[in-house]
Amino acid sequence: MKEYNFDEIIDRRNTGALKTDALQERYGQAGLIPLWVADMDFRCGDFIIDAIQQRAAHGIFGYTIPPQSYYDSIINWVGKRHGWNIKQEWFSYIPGIVKGIALAILNFTKPQDKIIIQPPVYHPFRLVPLMQGRNIVNNPLIEENGRYRMDLEGLKKCIDRDCKLLILCSPHNPAGITWPKETLEELAGICYDNGILIISDEIHSDMALFGNKHIPLASVSEKAAENSITFMAPSKTFNIAGLVSSYSIVPNERIRKSFYDFLHAGELDEGTIFAYTATQAAYEQGLNWMQQMLRYVENNILFADNYLKENIPQIKAIIPQASFLLWLDCRELGLSRKELNDLFVKKAGLALNDGEMFGKEGAGFMRINAGCPRAILEQALSRLAGQLSS
């Protein structure tokens, strides 16, 4: 079994990487340690690189269609990893999950319709509907002893006839939650009974940690299957976000026809040669790499948690059940939003995600990316500790 080196430090500057090359624009400083964008700093698996190079060697990059082996790789992966037996006609390529959410909103809602989200949550869930002229209904998660749960009673109360969609983050970003089956079942039932379509963003589905398990929403009940669109991708797991390899899964024929006709009309269901190539390589050959990566990320998270407890006890890590993203509770520092950002950016030289970008419920939190070589994570935490002890 091949061993992969996740300790390798790779300079991503001047490669067009958002994480490094947008620092000056976004943070006002180019030399920060970049731990914000949700991609990892690990070299892509050789099986993906080899597959892309082999395809590139052909030398012709014309209009393309997905091979049957591409479909088979997704069906087999989702079945084996998540116990969800999907059919080929259920899914379609999409040009990115945020784009998929935007396209679903355009197809299934009209301006001024209401869309429900559960903050603190991935910020495009709020920004995309607002920029499309839709109204946001916030049904915040309930925080209890450093963990979060859905407020399903609150959801029932905030629903009215103008609510058309609910956008679910599963596993949850930024808190790293793998939702229990009973929670998903109840959520699906509420939405089904009220005619609210669920868009389930499951991009972190393969990133379950510490023995936790991701459960696809559409697999939990007939109501869930009949009233949902699921978005998945190998992009987070295999660090190939730049290849745009997302896909949607829609069991309900009526919803599927409406959405896929809309995608097809603009050729938005047509992927690139390398998206198909990389997806198939990842799902057919990537299990060993993924398992080693997940163990490395788990150890990074445990390292960060222990470092904070020993050196910065005022900051507490909420250990994620999934993903390489770590949600840091900084509220004991007693700092304002500006003061907190000044501490991390101007004083410690770190680029993290400000918790309030995920909604006002994220006030006092920061999100840090632990999908990096241990030495980088240690350097970042050391810088932070140095500022707080001075």
Q: In which residue ranges of the chain is pLDDT below 70?
A: 390
**Contact partners, residue 146, CB within 8 Å, separation at least 6:** 316, 318, 329
HSE at residue 372, side-chain half, CA atoms within 13 A, is: 25
CATH class for the domain made up of 18-45+287-389: alpha beta
How far apart CA 48 and CA 283 sit, in angstroms, is 10
| Residue 390: per-residue pLDDT | 67
94 token code pair? 């999409």
Contact call for residues 196 and 116 (beta carbons, < 8 A) = yes
User: Which DSSP string corresponds to 254-314?
Assistant: HHHHHHHHHHHHTTTT---HHHHHHHHHHHHH-HHHHHHHHHHHHHHHHHHHHHHHHH-TT
Q: For the chain, give every domain's residue range.
A: 18-45+287-389, 63-284
| Residue 336: per-residue pLDDT | 97
Q: Is the pTM of this model over 0.95?
A: yes
> CATH classification of 63-284, choosing from 3.40.710.10, 3.50.50.60, 3.40.640.10, 2.170.120.12?
3.40.640.10
251 token code pair? 């069991």
First to last CA, the chain: 47
| Residue 1: per-residue pLDDT | 86
Alpha-carbon torsion, ordered 291, 296, 299, 303, to 10 deg: -160
| Residue 389: per-residue pLDDT | 84
Domains 18-45+287-389 and 63-284 belong to one CATH topology: no
- Three-state SS for 150-183 is CCHHHHHHHCCCCEEEEEEECCCCCCCCCCCHHH
| Residue 275: per-residue pLDDT | 98
